[in-house]
Structure 1
Amino acid sequence: MPVTLDDQARRYITAFEDATEATALDCVVDDDHDRIVFVVKAGEMGQAIGPDGSRIRDLEAKLGHDIELVEDAPTAKGFVANALAPAAVYNVTVSEVEGADTVAYAEVDHDDRGVAIGEGGKNIEMAKHLAKRHYDVDDIQLT
């Protein structure tokens, strides 16, 4: 699915790519939680983070926001698992019912459910938002 970016997101992607030399495929500004979430091209997560997280720390200081990264994946299942990281996701099943919503069921380690959900639901809501933007997944349910 094509992702539409506004001017602010494009500027943040330019700053991200200049600072990390990694490719950002998407950028979501979450003003409610003072963070910017970038979707990073598959295989470029290490490049984006940098040695000991130095590139991301420098970018956070430059932009004045917390930065979170999600690695892209070739399938909706892989993308949902990556969007819920660092929670341990064992399996994702995507259920598509004709004329109804597409739902991803993610099996998350019991001890990591809080990480997957995040404070006030911020992590699961961002994962849902990104999964909708990239794979037309309407909902994510934790199992």
Structure 2
Amino acid sequence: MTVTLSDDARQYIQAFDQLTGITPVDCLVREARLVFVVPVGEMGEAIGPHGETVSEVEAEFGQSVDLVEDAVDAEGFIANCLAPAAVRNITLSEQGGSTVAYAEVPQADRGVAIGADGESIETTRELAARHFDIDDVQLT
């Protein structure tokens, strides 16, 4: 699967790399926030001690920055997208030519998984489609 980046996303990725030394594999540009997908194993470095690195990036860009760690499979990737919500299980299902991921999230974490105004679940859906050809993500 090939991820197509906008010019703005490419510029943000380059700036993120210059600030942190980490090259994100994807960037979603939103009105008030940026979402970077960082390579597997580099999340700690991207966040920095006590969140200092990501805070510096937010200050430089003047907007909120969310980080998602990449994964080798769709299930792991979706769980990473929904973090910090606890994800118990993810099941992929083929339905009428579409692939739907069902993420089992405890009731106490559903609000976190959905996010304010559905922001978290919508970002998860978009990233899952971009990286793993998942047509929809549903919480169970």
Q: TM-score, normalised by structure 2?
A: 0.97
- Count of equivalent residues: 140
1:29 and 2:29 matched: yes
Does the 8 A contact of 1:24 with 1:41 survive in 2? yes
- CA shift at 1:18, angstroms? 1.3
What RMSD in Å do the two structures reach over aligned CA positions?
0.9
Give the alignment of 1:1-143 within 5 angstroms: 1-31=1-31, 34-97=32-95, 99-143=96-140
Name the aligned partner's letter for residue 67 of structure 1: V
- Contact residue 23 and residue 44 of structure 1 kept, 8 A: no
Using the TM superposition, give the Cα deviation of residue 118 of structure 1 relative to its aligned residue in structure 2, in angstroms.
0.6
CA contact (8 A) 2:3 2:26 kept: yes
Secondary structure in 2 aligned to 1:24? coil
Segments of 5+ residues of structure 1 without an aligned counterpart are none
**What is the SS of the residue equivalent to 1:15?**
helix
Local SS of the residue matching 2:65? strand
Q: In the TM superposition, what is the alpha-carbon distance from 1:23 to its structure 2 partner?
A: 2.5
State the 1:100 CA deviation.
Answer: 2.1
What are the superposed Cα offsets for residues 58-116 of structure 1, whole Å, 9 maximum, x if unpaired? 0101001100001000001111111111100011111124x421000001121000000
Partners of 1:106 and 1:21 in 2: how far apart? 33
CA distance in 2, matches of 1:15, 1:23: 9
Q: Percent identity among equivalent residues?
A: 58
Could you tell me how far 1:48 is from its partner in structure 2? Answer: 0.5
What is the CA–CA distance in structure 2 between the aligned matches of 1:116 and 1:30, rounded to whole Å? 18
Instruction: After TM superposition, give the deviation of residue 136 of structure 1 in Å.
Output: 0.6
Cα distance in 2, alignment partners of residues 49 and 23 from structure 1: 13
Q: 1: CA distance between counterparts of 2:106 and 2:21?
A: 33
Q: C-alpha deviations, 1:38-59, integer Å up to 9, x for none? A: 0010100001011111111001
